[in-house]
Amino acid sequence: MSAFIVVEGLEGAGKSSVIGALVKHLEAHQLSVITTREPGGTPMAEAIRECVKQNWDEEKVTQQTELLLMYAARSQLVENVIKPALKAGKWVVGDRHDLSSVAYQGGGRGVSLATLSTLRQMTLGDFCPDFTLYLDIEPELGLSRARGRGELDRIEQAGLAFFQRARETYQSEIAKLHNAVTIDASEDINTVQANALSALGGFLADKGLHT
């Protein structure tokens, strides 16, 4: 038995700390777990991540370039890491997946859903997470937390309106999914982790695992 669990959310939502709590909980149930991040997770995908994240002062990064790089990195990760791990019976906990592109490149950048659908079908087919946790946070608060970690990267500097559109898209897309739970990420981290673990417990129960 294995599963692909994804944690989604805007900058500053607390994905890393929640992922750490999820992994600890799963391992306590004697499950073999690996973590991934997007973009990234393989040597090539990590190189793509650097291209996407860094500030290119001498050159504008077009929306099309950003979008294609995201899906190129995702394809490398899914085919070379996630699918083999699931086949081997491991659980995979991912920091972002395809929904991030729908929210950021779709909602934030304004790329059409038709274009996103075409790229998704080309690179992922019918592959999708078994369970998604969406950490919902006001963009102002999330960006404030992100600034507290240090200098913002190129995407984090996209502006408040960008993240407001991304959040609205996240919320509308999550509402369509039967295997997703929204967590209020504005709470203190202990509460956020507790709520995330409670949601994970429900998913594990559905899989026939005692929590």
Q: What does the pLDDT read at residue 43?
A: 98
Enumerate residues 6+ apart whose C-beta is below 8 A from 63. 105, 109, 110, 111
Mean pLDDT score of the chain: 95
Q: Which CATH superfamily is domain 4-206 in?
A: P-loop containing nucleotide triphosphate hydrolases (3.40.50.300)
Tokens of 112: 């059409």
Which amino acid is located at 56 in the chain?
W
Residue pair 80/86 in contact by the 8 Å Cβ criterion: no
Question: Which comes out higher in pLDDT, residue 53 or 44?
Answer: 44
Whether 37 has a pLDDT exceeding 90, the answer reads yes
Instruction: State the pLDDT at residue 210.
Output: 67
pLDDT digits 0-9 by tens, 148-161: 887 778 888 888 99
